[in-house]
Amino acid sequence: MGVQLTVGMGEIQVVRGAGNVLTALGLGSCIGVCLYDPLVRVAGMVHVVLPQSQADKIGELPGKFADTAIPATVQRMVEMGASASRLKAAIAGGAQLFQFGTSSTLDVGARNAEAVVAALRQAGIPLLAKDVGGSVGRTLRLLSDNGLVVVRTIGGAERELATLGSILASSGVAA
Amino acid sequence: MNTAAPEKLQQLVQTIRDLPALPEVVVRVMRMTEDPRTDAQSIARVIATDQAMAARVLKLANSAFYGLPRRVSTLSEAVVILGFRTIKNLAIAASTFELLNREIAGYWLQRGELWRHSLACAIGAQLIARRIRLPVTEEAFVAGLLHDIGKVAINLFVREQFDQIMQRALQDQIAFVDAEQAVLGFNHAMAGGLIAEKWNLPPTLVAVIKYHHQPSTAPDHDPMISIVHLADVLAITLGIGIGGDGLYYHFEEDTMTLFGMEQADLDDLCEQIVDQMARAVSLQEQPEVVLQ
């Protein structure tokens, strides 16, 4: 029997085996990062809130910040039997307040996306697909069967973003 | 500004009329806290007449939010420790839970999502008030909690015309709330103002609810309106209780100048909101036994 887990803000969830589903609900400027090792079917998701951790605040919720979230998730996945070198990634979120002709100082969504991409690159994990930016809320799901990543726009359509377990999934789009 | 077709406006007025009144208990507590002769015992007695509310008030009082050094088990103790003002606000929060916890399908909000958004905004407003050293953090909490109450009233109207409203927002490059106005002839802020008036809420709360999307248009520039505006922006940006209207929201950036804030302050606030939400009390659980 698989489990269905919700990944709250700043949380990391890792599951192993088929039949599990990880979900991040209501991604605004936050980024949901999906990581998957197809060989052992270890799936991980982290709900990143802000780009950068501050030295005095690391510890309680490493998943909150892009720079600490990726290493912490990888570590949890490796502890569950995954190999860091087999991991593939897909991300969604990073929305911004709609720009009404003026520049916005509240650009945390864009900074988050940038920081997550950089952290993945640093970890050497190929980023196969991303659905970031815009002014919509998103819901992100990762299926542990095959690494299928599904994004739903709140109030809009659902679409398959990537299958991280596909044999064709080898190179990155933006890493 | 577009005006509503008369029959539609009539329907809205009827919908608002059909919404539950604020419980008598809250009305009485609000009145009592204004009266200098009131004592803690009598407030506790009034709240205790409504068991469900009493349970929620106690639960909120014991939440990590107030950081009490030990568990409070009776209402009168809670009133003494937290003070009249806080108890009044807890009573308002407890009494609006049912309404705010509803599914708001027009905005694609599942049951509980509007409550989460409202709570995040309440927490944010309180943090902002504290940061700018305004001595009204309790009021800020309630104002943040109630700012979107109008969504409950216009839910069905929005559900019927969600696609048209969204299309209008995209086409005219306007905020969703302004597209509501353009398509329906009214918006959730205005509807919320009507509810607040029906409930005889204090003028500041009415103004916050009415003008939380555009503090600059408020006749009185009460800083509370800007506080809730910024808190709402942060909660939406974080995606807490985010609906189909997404981030189609016009942020009055002067708010940051007004409060002397910069990017780093907003990041910091976001982080604190997330931390406090993680500890936020769930009012859905079974009420505990209440001792007066």
CA distances (Å), origin A172, targets A87, A151, B99, B173, B224: 11, 19, 47, 34, 48
Q: Domain-by-domain residue ranges, chain A?
A: 4-163
> Which tokens belong to B213?
């999307």
Contact predicate A53/A68, CB 8 Å: yes
Q: Does domain A4-163 have CATH number 3.30.1330.200?
A: yes
Q: Which of residues 209-248 of B touch A (CB under 8 A)?
A: 233, 236-248
Using a pLDDT cut of 90, give the percent of chain B over it.
61
Task: Say whether pLDDT at B292 is over 70.
Answer: no
B247 with A95: Cβ contact below 8 A: yes
Give mean pLDDT, residues B34-63. Answer: 87
Give mean pLDDT, residues B100-129. Answer: 95
Q: Which of residues 91-130 of A touch B (CB under 8 A)?
A: 93, 95-98, 100-102, 104-106, 108-109
Write the secondary structure of B90-119 as one string of H (helix), E (strand) and C (coil).
Answer: HHHHHHHHHHHCCCEHHHCECCCHHHHHHH
Q: Is A34 annotated as catalytic? A: no
pLDDT in tens, A89-145: 999 999 999 877 665 667 899 999 999 999 999 999 999 999 999 999 999 999 999
Q: Chain A: nearest CA to B176, how far in angstroms?
A: 10
CA distances (Å), origin B17, targets B14, B28, B153, B154: 5, 21, 10, 12
Using a pLDDT cut of 70, give the percent of chain B over it.
93
> Which tokens belong to A49?
């809130």
A50 with B267: Cβ contact below 8 A: yes
Pairing of strands A42-48, A12-16: antiparallel
pLDDT in tens, B17-28: 998 888 888 889
Pairing of strands A21-27, A31-37: unpaired
Query: Is this structure's pTM higher than 0.80?
Result: yes
- Strands of A12-16's sheet in order across: A12-16, A42-48, A31-37, A88-93, A127-132
Give mean pLDDT, residues B49-75. Answer: 83
Euclidean distance between CA atoms A158 and A139, whole angstroms: 9
Contact predicate B130/B123, CB 8 Å: no
From the list A8, A64, A137, the residue facing B242 with the nearest CB is A137
Q: What is the pLDDT of residue B20?
A: 86
Q: Long-range contacts of range B178-182, CB-CB < 8 Å, 24 or more positions apart?
A: B178/B250, B179/B248, B180/B154, B181/B1, B181/B2, B182/B2
Provide the β-strand partners of residue A16.
A42
A106 with B237: Cβ contact below 8 A: yes
From the list A50, A95, A104, the residue facing B251 with the nearest CB is A104
Give mean pLDDT, residues B45-68. Answer: 83
Average pLDDT, chain A: 90
Q: Domain-by-domain residue ranges, chain B?
A: 6-279
Q: Long-range contacts of range B64-72, CB-CB < 8 Å, 24 or more positions apart?
A: B64/B276, B64/B279, B64/B281, B65/B123, B65/B276, B65/B279, B65/B280, B65/B281
Closest CA to B214 of B239, B244, B188: B188
How long is chain B? 292
Task: Say whether pLDDT at B95 is over 90.
Answer: no
Select the more confidently predicted residue: A167 or A140: A140
Give mean pLDDT, residues B246-262. Answer: 94
Count CA atoms closer than 13 A to B72's CA, side-chain side. 27
Q: What is the pLDDT of residue B24?
A: 86
pLDDT in tens, A27-56: 999 999 999 999 999 999 999 999 988 766
DSSP structure string for chain B? -----HHHHHHHHHHHHHSPPPPHHHHHHHHHHH-TT--HHHHHHHHHTSHHHHHHHHHHHTSGGG--SS---BHHHHHHHH-HHHHHHHHHHHHHHHHHTS-BGGGTBPTTHHHHHHHHHHHHHHHHHHHTT-S-HHHHHHHHHHTTTHHHHHHHHHHHHHHHHHHHHHHHT--HHHHHHHHHS--HHHHHHHHHHHTT--HHHHHHHHHTT-GGG-SS--HHHHHHHHHHHHHHHHTTT--TTTT-----THHHHHTT--HHHHHHHHHHHHHHHHHPPPSSSPPPP-B-
Euclidean distance between CA atoms A92 and A98, whole angstroms: 17
Q: What is the pLDDT of residue B238?
A: 96
A39 contacts: CB under 8 Å, gap ≥ 6: A83, A86
CATH assignment of B6-279, given 3.40.50.2000, 3.40.190.10, 3.30.230.10, 1.10.3210.10? Answer: 1.10.3210.10
Q: What is the pLDDT of residue A59?
A: 58
A61 confidence band (pLDDT: 50, 70, 90) = confident
Residues of A in contact with B165 (CB under 8 A): none
Euclidean distance between CA atoms A89 and A131, whole angstroms: 12
A154 with B246: Cβ contact below 8 A: yes
